Chains A and B, each alone.
Chain A
Amino acid sequence: GAVVSQHPSRVICKSGTSVKIECRSLDFQATTMFWYRQFPKQSLMLMATSNEGSKATYEQGVEKDKFLINHASLTLSTLTVTSAHPEDSSFYICSAGPLAGPYEQYFGPGTRLTVT
């Protein structure tokens, strides 16, 4: 149980275009989902906390108009990278926590974004 999926797993796009990444909790409901960014050989950097039915909470330094987050249901959150630039190329990972404990977050397999 506690499976989180992400789609797509890999995407290449041109500069200036927008890309949407989906994060789904497959067998549990998640009121809260988290979006992380990971640069090569580095740790995960939390970008934002996504709450179902409300606006996302962004970490300091993360542009909310560039990284649009929507959490429309208890099983789906989306991250849209708008007007992508090469420096947005990264590994994006989402996670979700069950409604009622046991505290840990379950991570998706990640999405590799390459902006050319």
Chain B
Amino acid sequence: AQSVTQLGSHVSVSEGALVLLRCNYSSSVPPYLFWYVQYPNQGLQLLLKYTSAATLVKGINGFEAEFKKSETSFHLTKPSAHMSDAAEYFCAVSGSSGDKLTFGTGTRLAVRP
């Protein structure tokens, strides 16, 4: 069984500041990990994924995440926040290809001008 914990339901940063969204996972098998972004009244868009290749994963829109097995973490970062980054972010885990995703509770990112 897999589970995901996202620390911080709301994160607020200033434009240009570092973005750090936290995700910790639990999995009985080697996990596949994902970060998705959701804008209001829309579906989810994949930001990046970890599938047991490189532990530092680069995604779209300048986001990246690092898989740390020892810490069971997959935190999402972006060096410089942009106003357009304001959205809901979901971390998700699955146990294998084609397996169902288990989502975290989400983190709402606000970007202050």
Contacts and interface: CB of A to CB of B under 8 A. Distances in A.
- Same assembly: yes
B90 A102 contact: no
Interface in A39-97: 41-44, 46, 49, 91, 93, 95, 97
Interface of A: 4, 6, 31-32, 34, 41-44, 46, 49, 91, 93, 95, 97, 101-110, 112
A104 B100 CA distance: 10
B103 A43 contact: yes
A34 B49 contact: no
Contacts of B34: 104
A55 B47 CA distance: 31
Interface residues of B, number: 23
Contact of B41 (A32, A44, A105, A110): A110
B70 interface: no
Given A44-B90, A108-B43, A112-B41, A101 B36 contact: no
A43 B49 contact: no
Contacts of B108: 41
A103 B98 CA distance: 6
B42 interface: yes
20 contacts: A31-B98, A34-B100, A41-B108, A43-B90, A43-B103, A43-B104, A43-B106, A44-B103, A46-B100, A46-B102, A93-B43, A95-B44, A103-B32, A103-B51, A106-B46, A107-B44, A107-B45, A109-B43, A110-B41, A110-B43
Residue of B90, B94, B98, B102 most packed against chain A (CB within 10 A)? B98
B5 to A, nearest CB: 12
B97 interface: yes
B112 to A, nearest CB: 20
Contact of B46 (A34, A42, A104, A110): A104
B105 interface: yes
